[in-house]
Amino acid sequence: MNMIDPQKLPRHIAIIMDGNGRWAKSHAMGRILGHRKGAESVRVTVRTCRRIGIEVLTLYAFSMENWLRPAEEIRALMKLLKEYLDMEEDEMMEQNIRLMAVGKLDLLDKNVLEKLQYTMEKTSKNVKMVLNLALSYGGREEIAMAARDILTDGLAGKIKPDEIDQQLIQRYLYTRELPDPDLLIRTGGEWRISNFLLFQMAYTEFYFTKTLWPDFREEELLEAIAQFQKRERRFGRTSEQLI
């Protein structure tokens, strides 16, 4: 914590939680056990973000592409998600954390969707932090969805062509209620954003680490934030204009 300036925290941290399968393989375990171990990192990360004052934490929990994985693994991931919601519901209430979810949620298993909707409703008035789960999510699909909805409203006469700008598009995205991410963390050693929050990350700072997600703990989260605080965010301006 000595590395962190509490006055310069990112408002919104987004995380691509990569490496569960490779962690499991390196420990001679099945992939499902790797995902279960990764859930421990989720708990640590959520608690740390809440403790230090992060406003929004978005976790890339299940992508649209993940539906292509073996059926057994998908069933295990759905079961693990429901278990997580069951176990963390009380803590979200105690810690004043609001749960949100973005993506094509209707594709989720019925029992998982019902639990997710119940937990979101129960925590909807919590205000200290937003935990936003990207589930059955794809950035390109989100933009395509926004385009379809804008066209529909345009044909209905609710929108004129010259009214379409970045701010209007933002209002049609899943994340319309949230600020754009300030910091993206990706574990697992890969250097790509994998169809995650494509519109929202125009000016996000990236932090990549070789640490596999099940090994990601508070120390490295704080290191990522410390590195973020060392960067100069100009948003197209010069350094002199920021003084």
Spatial strand order in the sheet of 205-208: 97-102, 129-137, 56-63, 12-16, 183-186, 205-208
Q: State the catalytic residue, choosing from 2, 5, 18, 111.
A: 18
Report the helix count and the strand count for the chain, using DSSP H and E.
8, 6
215 tagged catalytic: no
Distance CA 41, CA 46 (A): 8
Phi, psi of 107 (to 5 degrees): -85, -15
Report mean pLDDT in 10-residue bins for the chain, 243 residues: 89 97 91 92 97 98 95 94 96 98 96 97 98 98 98 97 96 98 98 97 97 97 96 71 60
66 tagged catalytic: yes
For residue 214, the Cα-to-chain-centroid distance in whole angstroms is 16
Distance CA 20, CA 29 (A): 10
Instruction: Check residue 88 and give its pLDDT.
Output: 96
What residue type is 22 in one-letter code? R
CA distance to 7, 197, 211, 237, per residue, from 175 (Å):
25, 9, 28, 26
pLDDT tens, position by position, 52-68? 999 999 999 999 999 99
Distance CA 143, CA 149 (A): 10
Q: State the catalytic residue, choosing from 20, 66, 126, 162.
A: 66
Instruction: Check residue 145 and give its pLDDT.
Output: 97
Kindly give the pairing relationship between strand 56-63 and strand 129-137: parallel
CA distance to 31, 44, 161, 219, per residue, from 212 (Å):
13, 14, 46, 14
Instruction: Check residue 29 and give its pLDDT.
Output: 85
pLDDT tens, position by position, 76-121? 999 999 999 999 999 999 999 999 999 999 999 999 999 999 999 9
128: left (phi over 0), alpha (psi -120 to 50) or beta: alpha
pTM: 0.94
Query: 11 exposed, middle or buried (CB, 10 Å; 0-12, 13-18, 19+)?
Result: middle
